[in-house]
Amino acid sequence: MNRKQLEQLNQKCLYEVYDDEQETNDFRVGYIRAIFDSFIILERYHTRVGFDGFALVANEAIFKVQQDTQYLKPYQNLNRPQKQIPELSKKGDTLLNFLEWTKKNNKLVEIMTVWDELIIGTIEAIEEDLVIINVVAPEEFSSDGKCFIESDNIVDICIDTARLEFITS
């Protein structure tokens, strides 16, 4: 979807957001908290854990959005978190701005790559389009080296998820 289409959606509504054309039955549940030229910030929810962090989702990956479905009914009464969404500049590359914000705030992140690989860690540096990540092994919650990845190969970034909260607790 493009920015204009997304801006027509009510940001106070809970949505099913579909962004994986390979798995058309999979979707994310959440509130669209911010809309940029190429990305949205989605406040995510899960039935078992309630609030499940914020995700930076590429607009072009979103192919369908639904509201007021039967599936969404159990989510209607969940308590909204007091967590602050990242304050990002409307100028520049939104993905790089989001990564810089996570680095500055020392946030643990979940990064999904174009190869469907999940990388968990903290951002050490961003040099031009190269992102350097201090990786955390998801099973042992211990340091697992560094990852060097071009920002173009990042499709999704999440913060404050239930998994990340568990790792940091």
- Taking phi over 0 as left and psi of -120 to 50 as alpha, with beta for the rest, 138 belongs to alpha
Average pLDDT, the chain: 91
Shared domain for 115 and 168, answered yes or no, is yes
Q: What's the whole-number mean pLDDT along residues 9-36?
A: 92
CA distance 59 to 2: 6
pLDDT over 90, % of the chain: 67
Boundary of a domain, candidates 57, 85, 113: 85
Q: Which domain holds residue 2?
A: 1-85
pLDDT of residue 73: 92
Shared domain for 2 and 38, answered yes or no, is yes
Shared domain for 155 and 80, answered yes or no, is no
CA distance 124 to 132: 5
Q: How many domains in the chain?
A: 2
Rounded (10°) CA dihedral 158, 58, 149, 141: 10
How confident is residue 87, by pLDDT bands cut at 50, 70 and 90? confident
Q: pLDDT digits over 108-161, tens only?
A: 999 999 998 999 999 999 998 999 999 998 777 889 999 999 999 999 999 999
